[in-house]
């Protein structure tokens, strides 16, 4: 066996368990901040402004875009989109709401989101018993779950991701030798075949990107809001292996987002929103 010269990243065994469902299930029940909703990185404003202020705002499109919100946690991003649509399209915002699919692997997160929608509908005098948005419990790193739960309907125009790739990135790589045809995505199998005899594996961020590419339209977008200034560093790029299938995304933009702080003397820290386009 030879070590891959381009895959000499340190092991991920840093003790962080943000990739683990048990961590999140426990956190959503026990962390008091989650009971009323907690926003990672920053509020949904930065992503929302990207969706509403560009020259051709995605949220104003007709017909409405089909949105996959991954790793919803207890964030208010999807509900904020609904509130925006309600303002902009008083006649058909409820119909638009059906185009948002909220996904998390934690049932506690999905329950929270369902309750938040129901409560808000009650507050605005609508029938909270009729669910407007869609909710799915899916492990995004499990190809069979992604394919069977998210891959059957109309492909998505847009993936919204606020720090979910960050969480997923803390997981260990999948060793090339462990990639099998009956459980993994065909593109991962192809990548593993090109790496026979090479020690190493595929980063969780790449597994996620390959899975998402199968349920997003060609030219569709993935807005990834991340703390990391080099979010895709772990990805094996197509120039390294033969086929573009192993990374079917092109970064078309990277927007800096200044981190808000209540301390005026705090150093300026930036997060980033990556615009990835499906090739």
Ligand X SMILES: C[S@@+](CC[C@H](N)C(=O)[O-])C[C@H]1O[C@@H](n2cnc3c(N)ncnc32)[C@H](O)[C@@H]1O
Q: Which residues bind ligand X (CB under 6 A)?
A: 19, 24, 38-40, 71-73, 75, 104-106, 109, 139-141, 162-164, 167-168
Nearer to ligand X, 149 or 241 (CB): 149
Nearer to ligand X, 121 or 212 (CB): 212
Nearer to ligand X, 9 or 33 (CB): 33
Closest separation between CB of residue 6 and ligand X, Å? Answer: 25
Closest separation between CB of residue 157 and ligand X, Å? Answer: 19
CA dist., res. 256 & res. 2, Å (int)? 39
Token pair belonging to 60: 């104003």
Closest separation between CB of residue 159 and ligand X, Å? Answer: 12
- Do 141 and 59 contact (CB within 8 A), yes or no? no
Phi, psi of 216 (to 5 degrees): -115, 145
Closest separation between CB of residue 134 and ligand X, Å? Answer: 15
CA dist., res. 265 & res. 18, Å (int)? 30
Token pair belonging to 204: 């969780």
CA 51 remoteness from chain centre: 16
Closest separation between CB of residue 78 and ligand X, Å? Answer: 10
Closest separation between CB of residue 167 and ligand X, Å? Answer: 4
Nearer to ligand X, 82 or 124 (CB): 82
Nearer to ligand X, 102 or 187 (CB): 102
- Strand ranges for the chain from DSSP E: 2-3, 67-70, 100-104, 134-137, 156-162, 174-175, 198-199, 201-202, 216-226, 249-258, 270-278
Residue with token string 């869609």:
134
Nearer to ligand X, 99 or 167 (CB): 167
CA dist., res. 183 & res. 66, Å (int)? 27
Element spanning 164, H or E:
helix 164-168
């Amino acid at each position: 066996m030879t070590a891959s010269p381009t895959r000499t990243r340190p092991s991920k065994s840093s003790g962080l368990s943000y990739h683990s469902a048990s961590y999140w299930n426990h956190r959503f029940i026990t962390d008091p901040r989650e009971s009323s909703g907690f926003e990672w990185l920053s509020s949904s404003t930065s992503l929302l402004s990207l969706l509403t202020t560009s020259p051709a705002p995605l949220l104003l499109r007709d017909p409405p875009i089909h949105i996959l919100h991954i790793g919803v946690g207890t964030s208010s991003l999807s509900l904020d989109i609904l509130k925006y649509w309600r303002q902009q399209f008083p006649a058909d915002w409820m119909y638009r709401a059906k185009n948002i699919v909220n996904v998390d692997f934690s049932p506690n997160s999905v329950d929270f989101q369902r309750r938040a929608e129901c409560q808000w509908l009650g507050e605005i005098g609508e029938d909270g018993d009729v669910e407007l948005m869609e909710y799915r419990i899916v492990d995004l790193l499990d190809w069979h779950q992604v394919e069977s739960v998210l891959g059957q309907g109309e492909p998505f125009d847009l993936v919204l991701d606020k720090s979910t790739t960050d969480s997923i990135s803390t997981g260990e790589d999948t060793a090339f030798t462990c990639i099998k045809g009956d459980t993994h995505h065909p593109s991962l199998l192809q990548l593993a075949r090109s790496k026979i005899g090479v020690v190493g594996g595929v980063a969780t961020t790449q597994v996620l990107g390959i899975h998402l590419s199968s349920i997003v339209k060609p030219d569709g977008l993935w807005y990834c809001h991340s703390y990391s200034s080099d979010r895709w560093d772990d990805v094996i790029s197509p120039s390294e292996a033969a086929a573009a299938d192993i990374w079917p995304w092109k970064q078309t933009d990277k927007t800096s987002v200044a981190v808000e702080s209540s301390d005026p003397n705090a150093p300026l820290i930036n997060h980033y929103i990556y615009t990835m386009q499906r090739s």
